[in-house]
Amino acid sequence: MPFSEPRVKYVEIRDAIIAMLTAASTTINEGLSESVIQIIKGNPFVTTIPSTMYPSVLVQFTKKTEEIKSFGNTNAPRTKVTITYNIYAIVRVMSSSEDSDDEVAKLADNIEAVFRDNTNINGNVDWSVVIDMQSGSGDIDGTYVSMAILTIDCIKNMT
């Protein structure tokens, strides 16, 4: 009889992340000059964001790793699954690149606060943590666009 374990449902976890961020709009928008317009699935390098839809947050599944923890009495391995998502926080500001960078830093911090307050993503994972954040900016037709990429590891113990 082949070994079978519960499946990790990447789309359900991604959608739970989107729902969690959407429900935390007060925290997400704290200190921002404009409220976030949309929180959606996608990759900003292929998903077109119209100029009227900034600030935006996009969520993308990026990878899964699995670690066998023990075989126990039943010879069925227990595994720790790590599912990684990128959260893209994107802002567009007319005034200056410094203002744009400040806005995206605030948005990234607000997103991280939501994950600190809800580490199990409403019961969809055992634990989650922001493991990395990178940011950058550019000038597009006289406006400044800044993006922060937050890398989130979601841990799920499977038995």
Domain CATH for 70: 3.30.70.1700
On whether residue 3 sits in a domain, the answer given is no
Boundaries of domain holding 99: 10-158
Give the pLDDT confidence of 6-36 residue by residue, as tens digits.
678 999 999 999 999 999 999 999 999 999 9
Q: Which amino acid is at 36?
A: V
On whether residue 1 sits in a domain, the answer given is no
Look up residue 77 and give its two tokens: 């391995």
On whether residue 138 sits in a domain, the answer given is yes
pTM: 0.90
Count of domains forming the chain = 1
Q: Where are the alpha helices (DSSP H) in 3-151?
A: 10-23, 25-29, 97-117
On whether residue 4 sits in a domain, the answer given is no
Give the pLDDT confidence of 109-156 residue by residue, as tens digits.
999 999 999 999 999 999 999 999 999 999 888 889 999 999 999 999
